[in-house]
């Protein structure tokens, strides 16, 4: 017996029926499913007493200990501890936790673990003791799993006043629908009850989930887009054992480059093949989610589905949904003829704005991506025996100055350069993106109507030559 003020705040419930305490909706949050297990509110009807009851006591008052751990240190026990009522030899109180639909669904995947925990303690060499049992039960009330936190006896405490943290953690059996928590407090050294308990808790611990998603719903064919593979911790955000995932890609979608980037600490990521990505890692305490960015390229237009069924996981939930990408042909190159005539509306009437006048005859251009681009312009029609001027324009398409370029025209039979003209002319240094234009005077000797092809070529040391061809219609002489 210890002299003190035990039971000062006591509430001893006497009901016999077991009350079911519904878990909050979506309780797979890592929160404590036990109500009133910390004494911070006075024990009430959430605890059903078969005998005796539970009372609470301020820490550190009237000779009661603070929240101190045997072996050193303290724990966050709040202001109150719990114990059985003074003078009652054996108190038994119970609480039934009805698991919510979300929890039941998770449990029935067979991947949820359950933890019962509490701080249990006593006073000096006294034998007063309290223990806690959790029975995980099916819909018929049959116990599928039993966890027990044994009382802390004086020998374990070294006859020192204080608490020991106890916990039990096991896989929750499929079919579990409720948890019956029983607290048994035994008074040996009357009348004060010094079998202490605090922070009685039941937690559900899930496993992380894999998710997959594309950075955008559509992407051009042949261009990389990002498939993100995410490992999202369960809402308890507790540390989880090592996990592994493998995702196979659909035909026509391949990994664009390596190495693959990830923010999953310590993870190993690799593409086993162009169509398979593997990740191994672990989830630390407090980790909410991490991801792997996989650049992928669609080889053709169409819809690509990265299927959840093509994911292989160990220590994770498989993705709940597929990831879908629509691959589209790249946008066509701009029309060399320029934009169509613009229209705008004035009042209720629309009118057509004339296109900008074309200062020169139509121009034929090369369509390739060479560093020099050349275009040749000529009148579309000339009279036989007449004269014409060919205009050749060369453009430096690079970001560097091009030196030593030349422009040449190659004329078909029936077309001659005018007297004094040369077929090739040099071009001074061409700055980045700069263009130069040279003209060539020619005379059409041909008499019969025909279409002649005039060719222009630009060359520069170390540069790929570019050519352009222009058809010139020769008409009958006037
Ligand atoms: Ca407490």
Q: What letter would DSSP give residue 461?
A: T
Q: What pLDDT shows up at residue 465? A: 63
CA of 108 to the centre of ligand 1 (A): 33
Q: What pLDDT shows up at residue 17? A: 33
CA of 390 to the centre of ligand 1 (A): 96
Least confident of 266-275, 445-454, 460-469: 460-469
CA of 180 to the centre of ligand 1 (A): 21
What fold characterizes domain 20-205? Jelly Rolls (2.60.120)
CA of 37 to the centre of ligand 1 (A): 8
CA of 43 to the centre of ligand 1 (A): 11
CA of 27 to the centre of ligand 1 (A): 22
Q: What is the pTM of this model?
A: 0.55
CA of 65 to the centre of ligand 1 (A): 12
Work out the end-to-end distance of the chain between its first and last CA atoms, rounded to an integer number of angstroms: 134
CA of 18 to the centre of ligand 1 (A): 23
CA of 81 to the centre of ligand 1 (A): 5
Asked if 215 and 221 count as a contact pair (C-beta separation under 8 A), the reply is no
Q: What pLDDT shows up at residue 472? A: 67
CA of 119 to the centre of ligand 1 (A): 9
Dihedral, 290, 294, 295, 297 alpha carbons, nearest 10: -140
As a whole number, mean pLDDT of residues 425-433 equals 81
Q: Where in the chain is the domain with CATH 2.60.40.680?
A: 209-328
pLDDT at 10 over 50: no
What pLDDT digit, counting tens, does each position of 84-113 carry? 999 999 999 999 999 999 899 889 988 899
Distance CA 234, CA 343 (A): 57
Average pLDDT, the chain: 83
CA of 170 to the centre of ligand 1 (A): 25
Q: What pLDDT shows up at residue 313? A: 94
CA of 80 to the centre of ligand 1 (A): 4
Q: Where in the chain is the domain with CATH 2.60.40.10?
A: 363-475
What pLDDT digit, counting tens, does each position of 196-233 carry? 999 999 999 988 999 999 999 999 999 999 999 999 99
pLDDT at 343 over 70: no
Asked if 20 and 96 count as a contact pair (C-beta separation under 8 A), the reply is yes
CA of 286 to the centre of ligand 1 (A): 24
Whether the link from the prior residue into 191 is cis, omega within 30° of 0, is: yes
Q: What letter would DSSP give residue 194?
A: -
Closest CA to 371 of 389, 395, 353: 395
Least confident of 15-19, 71-75, 129-133: 15-19
What pLDDT digit, counting tens, does each position of 452-477 carry? 777 777 777 666 566 776 776 777 76
Q: What pLDDT shows up at residue 342? A: 39
Closest CA to 92 of 132, 62, 124, 127: 132
With residues binned 3-state (H G I as helix, E B as strand, rest as coil), the percentages for the chain, rounded to 5, are 5, 50, 50
Q: What pLDDT shows up at residue 93? A: 98
CA of 39 to the centre of ligand 1 (A): 5
pLDDT at 282 over 50: yes
pLDDT at 337 over 60: no
CA of 150 to the centre of ligand 1 (A): 19
CA of 77 to the centre of ligand 1 (A): 4
Which CATH number is associated with domain 363-475? 2.60.40.10
Structure confidence at residue 172 as a pLDDT band (50, 70, 90)? very high
Structure confidence at residue 26 as a pLDDT band (50, 70, 90)? very low
Q: Where in the chain is the domain with CATH 2.60.120.260?
A: 20-205
pLDDT at 53 over 70: yes
Q: What pLDDT shows up at residue 419? A: 77
What pLDDT digit, counting tens, does each position of 352-378 carry? 344 444 343 344 343 345 677 888 777
- 89 conformational bin, left if phi > 0, alpha if psi -120 to 50, beta if neither: alpha
pLDDT at 408 over 90: no
Least confident of 1-15, 236-250, 299-313: 1-15
Distance CA 355, CA 351 (A): 12
pLDDT at 3 over 70: no
As a whole number, mean pLDDT of residues 44-51 equals 96
CA of 10 to the centre of ligand 1 (A): 14
Structure confidence at residue 339 as a pLDDT band (50, 70, 90)? very low
Q: State the architecture of 209-328 in CATH terms.
A: Sandwich (2.60)
């Amino acid at each position: 017996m210890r002299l003190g003020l035990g039971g000062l705040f006591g509430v001893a419930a006497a009901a016999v029926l077991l009350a079911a305490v519904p878990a909050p909706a979506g309780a797979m949050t890592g929160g404590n499913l036990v109500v009133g297990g910390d004494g911070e509110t006075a024990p009430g009807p959430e605890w059903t007493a078969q005998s005796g009851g539970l009372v609470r006591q301020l820490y550190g008052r009237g000779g009661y200990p603070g929240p101190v751990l045997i072996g050193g240190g303290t724990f966050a026990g709040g202001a109150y501890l719990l114990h059985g009522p003074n003078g009652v030899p054996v108190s038994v109180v119970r609480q039934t936790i009805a698991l919510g639909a979300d929890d039941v669904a998770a449990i029935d995947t067979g991947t949820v673990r359950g933890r019962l925990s509490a701080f249990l303690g006593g006073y000096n060499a006294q034998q007063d003791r309290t223990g806690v049992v959790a029975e995980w039960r099916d819909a018929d009330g049959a116990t599928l799993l039993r966890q027990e936190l044994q009382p802390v006896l004086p020998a374990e405490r070294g006859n020192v006043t204080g608490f020991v943290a106890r916990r039990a953690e096991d896989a929750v059996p499929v079919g579990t629908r409720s948890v019956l928590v029983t607290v048994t407090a035994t008074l040996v050294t009357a009348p004060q009850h010094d079998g202490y308990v605090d922070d009685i808790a039941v937690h559900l611990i899930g496993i992380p989930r894999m998710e997959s998603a594309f950075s955008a719903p559509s992407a051009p064919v042949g261009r990389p887009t990002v498939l993100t593979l995410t490992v999202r911790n369960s809402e308890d955000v507790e540390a989880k054992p090592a996990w592994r995932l493998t995702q196979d890609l659909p035909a026509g979608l391949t990994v664009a480059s390596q190495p693959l980037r990830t923010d999953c600490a310590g993870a190993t990521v690799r593409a086993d093949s162009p169509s398979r990505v593997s990740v191994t890692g672990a989830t630390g305490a407090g980790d909410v989610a991490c991801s792997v960015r996989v650049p992928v390229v669609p080889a053709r237009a169409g819809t690509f589905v990265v299927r959840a069924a093509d994911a292989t996981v160990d220590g994770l939930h498989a993705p709940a949904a597929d990831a879908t990408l629509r691959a589209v042909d790249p946008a066509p190159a701009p029309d060399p003829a320029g934009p169509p005539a613009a229209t705008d509306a004035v009042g209720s009437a629309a009118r057509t704005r004339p296109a900008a006048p074309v200062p020169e005859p139509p121009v034929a251009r090369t369509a390739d991506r060479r560093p020099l681009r050349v275009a040749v312009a000529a009148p579309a029609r000339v009279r036989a025996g007449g004269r014409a001027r060919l205009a050749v324009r060369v453009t430096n398409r690079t970001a560097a100055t091009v030196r030593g370029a030349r422009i040449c025209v190659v004329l078909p039979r029936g077309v001659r350069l005018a007297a004094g003209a040369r077929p090739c002319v040099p071009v001074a240094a061409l700055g980045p993106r700069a263009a130069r234009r040279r003209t060539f005077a020619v005379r059409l000797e041909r008499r019969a109507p025909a279409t002649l092809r005039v060719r222009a070529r630009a060359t520069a040391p170390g540069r790929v030559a570019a050519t352009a061809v222009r058809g010139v219609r020769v008409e009958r002489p006037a």
